[in-house]
Amino acid sequence: MRFSAGRPLLRRAPIRRAFYERPTEEVARDLLGKILLRSDGEGTVAVRLTEVEAYLGIDDPACHTFRGRRTARNEVMWGCAGHLYVYFTYGMHFCANIVTRGAGVPEAVLLRGGDVIEGEALAVARRGGKRRGLLDGPAKLCQGLALTREQNGVDVASRVDGIWIVDGDPLAPGESIETGPRVGVDYAGEAAGWPLRFRLSGRVRD
DNA sequence: GACCAGATGTACT
DNA sequence: GTACATCTGGTCT
């Protein structure tokens, strides 16, 4: 396994909350290569994050909290950093975000994709046996990690709820961070083109 | 690669 | 009540 060097994943401490309290674009970029762990009765799945998008709160037309919109659904985004914002969309999919900044500043980073580095069999089973493009989309990521409305609001800066993020290993040789426009937000006009999507490119499996 | 249907929660009139 | 969504999977080219 390529990323097994260093301290065993389950022994690594969760990344502290201060990491998430920084500017959202920095958090998004720095989340690439980090490892999201989900541990429950079924087992443990570890995912190395390879694609994320930043959503910049009340001034971002693509963001659920644009113009200060505050509803039961997006309430978690208004809370403190380091919590998971999981929402349901298109009538059949879940997407997961990590809340950034601080209470009252509703910004977040959408988790768009990652590579499974542990617990692949479980992730594949949750994806209905489909191994191809295993977690290469936000809804697939949620499905592989069994993230649903029930995980909305979970604190990823702590292991108590079984979902947390730890440091990954350094970028592999040939890997680089690619920036581009966000996906699926054409309705947001000019903001759809803002370079807020970050992706690890040059991976072996690309 | 492009195109499109699918299913229903959520926001807003 | 109505419009549309931070998408996926299947089909066709």
A143-154 pLDDT per residue, tens? 999 999 999 999
Chain B positions within 7 A of any protein Cβ atom are 6-12
Question: Which positions ≥6 away from A151 have C-beta within 8 Å?
Answer: A84, A86, A96, A161, A163
Closest nucleotide to the alpha carbon of A72, via C1'? B10
Distance CA A180 to C1' B1 in A: 20
Residue bearing the bigger pLDDT, A186 or A53: A53
Burial class of residue A203 in the structure, from the number of CB atoms within 10 Å of its CB (0-12 exposed, 13-18 middle, 19+ buried): middle
Instruction: Give me the pLDDT at residue A204, please.
Output: 58
Residue A4 has pLDDT above 70, yes or no: no
Q: Tell me, in Å, how far CA of A118 is from C1' of B12?
A: 43
A153 CB-contact burial (10 Å; exposed 0-12 / middle 13-18 / buried 19+)? middle
Residues at the strand C interface (Cβ < 7 Å): A 53, 55, 62-64, 87, 89-93, 95, 97, 108, 110, 127-128, 130, 133, 137-141, 183-185, 187
Q: What is the pLDDT of residue A5?
A: 59
Nearest to A202 by CA among A50, A41, A9: A50
Closest nucleotide C1' to the C-alpha of A64: C6
Separation in Å: B8 C1' and A126 CA: 22
Please state the length of chain A: 206
pLDDT of A2 reads 52
Name the nucleotide with the smallest C1'–CA separation from A183: C6
* Distant-in-sequence, close-in-space partners of A118: CB < 8 Å, separation ≥ 6: A1, A9, A44, A45, A46
Q: How confident is the model over A26-79, as pLDDT tens digits?
A: 999 999 999 999 999 999 999 999 999 999 999 999 999 999 999 999 999 999
pLDDT at A6: 75
**Does the CB of A71 fall within 7 Å of any strand B atom?**
yes
Question: Side chain identity at A96, as an amino acid letter?
Answer: A
Strand B, CB < 7 A, residues 36-55 of A: none
**How is A172-184 classified by DSSP, letter by letter?**
PTT-EEEEE--SS
Number of CB atoms found within 10 A of residue A196's CB: 26
Q: Residue A79: exposed, middle, or buried by beta-carbon count in 10 A (0-12, 13-18, 19+)?
A: middle
Say how far apart CA A74 and CA A152 lie, in whole Å.
10
Query: Residue A5: beta bridge partners?
Result: none
For strand C, the positions having any atom within 7 A of a protein Cβ are 4-9
Q: Beta A93-100 vs A107-118: how paired, if at all?
A: antiparallel
